[in-house]
Structure 1
């Protein structure tokens, strides 16, 4: 499952990298919870929670229905 999540994150990364940020996969649990860490410019950005929800979480949940939630580390 970790590999599948990484593949989905690879689709989101160019969007984040345009603004000097990135996303790192921290963990994927057996019950479908993904933990990620925003890095670079995204780390301290006041909009980071919006980015997490609207870009990262939305994409993961759309592409991997077996994932139930995405949270920040």
Structure 2
């Protein structure tokens, strides 16, 4: 099933004299992340969980040694 990407209306030609857009085009909306595969997203998520897990363990070790 193909995914639907959001599109937004962009002004590609602007008339500075009249301050109006003279030509508009529908283009794909910008995104925060570049397009990636499911495998790449899984790799990023697993690394994030590894870092968060290490930080949690470090915190727990610090709590147990300060008592």
Q: TM-score, normalised by structure 2?
A: 0.30
Point out the structure with max Rg over C-alpha.
2
Larger RCO (CA within 8 A; separation ≥ 6): 1
Q: TM-score, normalised by structure 1?
A: 0.28
